[in-house]
């Protein structure tokens, strides 16, 4: 198979097998997501040619009417009609990506997408958006299933936002499959019955939902209210039992003017420290705060220890080489920053920018066999921030950090975004992950890390954390423990 190695301009700085791709599109019903797909393929380093196929494709008058309304309110969407993509490129391609639903008869491997068991991607996502639900995309290479994506979608007024999140998930699936095809690591995935396609009709469903959503939004007084809780236990905790049962948790009190979330614990000089995201409603921007466990086993009011002009959250604390570091989330600033404790726990200095120019969320550190790994989710453009896992690795904590050759690792609303530090148990390694199937922070699960090296990242299935009387709240989305101290949070 003709190929070439990665170039300096691609997202992957290590040698990768890249190739020449032919993209087939509709001549008269091109949409903006085609251009987004081309741009991302080219950013990966692939050589992309385009051929516009004669024919208009299925008309989507209802979709286009809704998109016209929302464009005036919210700007363009990836689902909007666009000028036809110009035919470009040359002969000699290695893979065809067929977005035009051609009849076949190609002389090269052909990659197609299905949603709800149909190649009608635009129609399928319209029905999903009308029903305010996600959809599962299946990638097929010459008819064989080789990849799946289950994007997360936001709840809310905008149909265009749901469509954007679905389409970005579809694009990420194509990127994943194309990278693995040229890397020689693409294989079949298990077949399973297609999801049932909703039949709401986008225009019929749009107006009553928009009215109800607008009324709900006008009546909302404040953002979601998260709460952190903690307990001191001996023996098995949530990671071992898989349930929120046993000894009751104590809520970390707040004053109603802010919430606390994303709890991480750290033991230092015999004392337990609780680091949290503190989110004052008046600023709408998270800061990092800390509280110390007192002799009575209770945490007091957290005090701010780190603030930036942008939002901060997910304050993972690590000890390394006699120093204490923090790697908080700062995705809105498009950087992952390593902070060093100049005076623990209340004075932190920027030590290094580990990754720049990427919108990365909840990056979680793992040290394994002499290599440092960061796992998190990446938000691409108008996509959802919680469904696309990426992995980076380095030989030293300060880097340089290299993206994994097979990024994105998975596109899964229930098993991509970390929800706490890695857990090591009986020689096995588990990652808490957030279940965003219904809503962000809707639940928590545990995934076992089965294989990790520079050529593959493999997790086992998500095992949901079950409810229990110890913390009878919906939407637990963080779990951490050090020693006897276990912490969780949820949205209530």
Q: Give residue for tokens 């002009």.
A: 309
164-220 pLDDT, tens digit per residue, is: 999 999 999 999 999 999 999 999 999 998 888 877 666 666 666 555 555 555 445
Over range 460-486, report the average pLDDT. Answer: 93
What DSSP character marks residue 249? P
Q: pTM of the full predicted structure? A: 0.92
What CATH class has 226-491? mainly beta
Integer CA distances (angstroms), 376 to 184, 339, 366, 432, 490, in order: 25, 18, 11, 11, 20
Per-domain residue ranges for the chain?
Answer: 4-218, 226-491
Helices 121-130 and 202-219 pack at an angle, to 10 degrees, of: 40
**Entry field: residues in the chain:** 492
- Stretch 286-296: mean pLDDT: 98
Taking each helix axis as running N to C, give the angle between helix 61-74 and helix 159-183, from 0 to 180 degrees, rounded to the nearest 10. 100
Longest dimension (CA), the chain: 75
What pLDDT is recorded for position 3? 37
3-state helix, strand, coil in the chain (%, to 5): 20, 40, 45
- Residue 448 CB-half CA count within 13 A: 10
Least confident piece of the model among 33-47, 58-72, 331-345: 58-72
DSSP category for residue 357: S
What Å distances lie between residue 6 and 41, 43, 198, 408, CA to CA?
A: 13, 11, 42, 16
Distance CA 404, CA 191 (A): 27
Closest CA to 466 of 310, 270, 243, 309: 243
What percentage of the chain carries pLDDT values higher than 70?
89
CATH architecture of 4-218: 3-Layer(aba) Sandwich (3.40)
Tell me the average pLDDT across 449-459: 97
Tokens matching residue 335: 């950087």
d(CA 158, CA 245): 38
Place of tokens 């796992």: 375
Q: What is the pLDDT of residue 113?
A: 96
Please tell me the distance from the alpha carbon of residue 177 to that of residue 65, in angstroms, as a whole number.
33
**Peptide bond between residue 171 and the one before it cis (omega within 30 degrees of 0):** no
DSSP 8-state secondary structure symbol assigned to residue 81: B
From first CA to last CA, the distance across the chain in angstroms is 54
Per the prediction, the chain carries an average pLDDT of 89
Given a cut of 60, is residue 422 above it in pLDDT?
yes
Q: What is the mean pLDDT of residues 414-424?
A: 98
What is the rounded CA–CA span in Å between residue 35 and residue 58? 19
pLDDT of 364 higher than 50: yes
Residues in Cβ contact with 453 at an 8 Å cutoff, skipping those fewer than 6 apart: none
State the SS3 of 92-136.
CCCEEEECCCCCCCCCCCEEEEEECCECCHHHHHHHHHHCCCCCC
Kindly provide the residue ranges of all beta strands, DSSP E only, lying in 233-282, ordered along the sequence: 250-251, 258-268, 271-280
């Amino acid at each position: 198979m003709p190929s070439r190695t990665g170039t300096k301009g691609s997202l992957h700085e290590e040698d990768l097998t890249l190739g020449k791709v032919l993209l087939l599109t509709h001549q008269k019903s091109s949409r903006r997501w085609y251009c987004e797909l081309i741009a991302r393929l080219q950013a990966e380093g692939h050589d992309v040619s385009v051929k516009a196929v004669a024919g208009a494709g299925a008309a989507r008058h209802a979709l286009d009417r809704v998109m016209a309304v929302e464009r005036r309110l919210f700007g363009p969407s990836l689902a909007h009609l666009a000028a036809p993509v110009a035919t470009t490129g040359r002969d000699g391609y290695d893979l065809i990506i067929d977005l035009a639903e051609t009849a076949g008869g190609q002389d090269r491997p052909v990659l197609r997408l299905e949603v709800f068991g149909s190649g009608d991607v635009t129609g399928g996502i319209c029905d999903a958006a009308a029903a305010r639900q996600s959809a599962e995309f299946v990638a097929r290479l010459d008819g064989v299933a080789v990849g799946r994506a289950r994007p997360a979608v936001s709840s809310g007024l905008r149909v265009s936002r749901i469509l954007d999140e679905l389409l970005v998930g579809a694009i990420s699936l194509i990127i994943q499959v194309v990278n693995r095809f040229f890397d020689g690591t693409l294989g079949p995935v298990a077949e399973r019955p297609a999801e049932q396609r909703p039949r709401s009709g986008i225009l019929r469903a749009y107006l009553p939902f928009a009215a109800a959503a607008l009324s709900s939004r006008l009546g909302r007084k404040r953002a979601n209210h998260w709460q952190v809780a903690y307990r001191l236990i001996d023996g098995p905790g949530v990671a071992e039992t898989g349930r929120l049962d046993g000894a009751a948790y104590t809520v970390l009190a707040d004053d109603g003017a802010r919430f606390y979330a994303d709890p991480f614990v750290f033991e230092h000089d015999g004392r337990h420290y609780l680091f949290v995201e503190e989110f004052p409603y008046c600023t709408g921007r998270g800061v990092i705060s800390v509280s110390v466990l007192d002799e009575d086993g209770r945490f007091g009011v957290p005090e701010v220890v780190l603030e930036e002009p942008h939002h901060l959250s997910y304050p993972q604390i690590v000890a390394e080489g006699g120093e204490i570091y923090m790697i908080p989330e700062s995705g809105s600033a498009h950087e992952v920053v390593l902070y060093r404790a100049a005076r623990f726990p209340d004075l932190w200095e920027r030590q290094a920018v580990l990754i720049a120019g990427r919108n990365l969320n909840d990056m979680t550190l793992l040290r394994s066999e002499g290599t440092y790994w960061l796992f998190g989710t990446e938000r691409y453009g108008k996509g959802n921030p919680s469904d696309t896992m990426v992995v980076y690795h380095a030989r030293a904590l300060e880097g340089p950090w290299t993206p994994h050759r097979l990024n994105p690792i998975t596109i899964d609303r229930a098993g991509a975004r970390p929800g706490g530090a890695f857990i090591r148990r009986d020689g096995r390694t588990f990652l808490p992950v957030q279940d965003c199937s219904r809503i962000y922070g809707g639940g928590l699960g545990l995934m076992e890390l089965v294989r990790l090296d520079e050529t593959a990242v493999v997790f086992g299935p998500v095992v949901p954390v079950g409810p229990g009387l110890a913390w009878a709240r919906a939407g637990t989305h963080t779990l951490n423990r050090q020693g006897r101290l276990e912490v969780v949070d949820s949205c209530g």
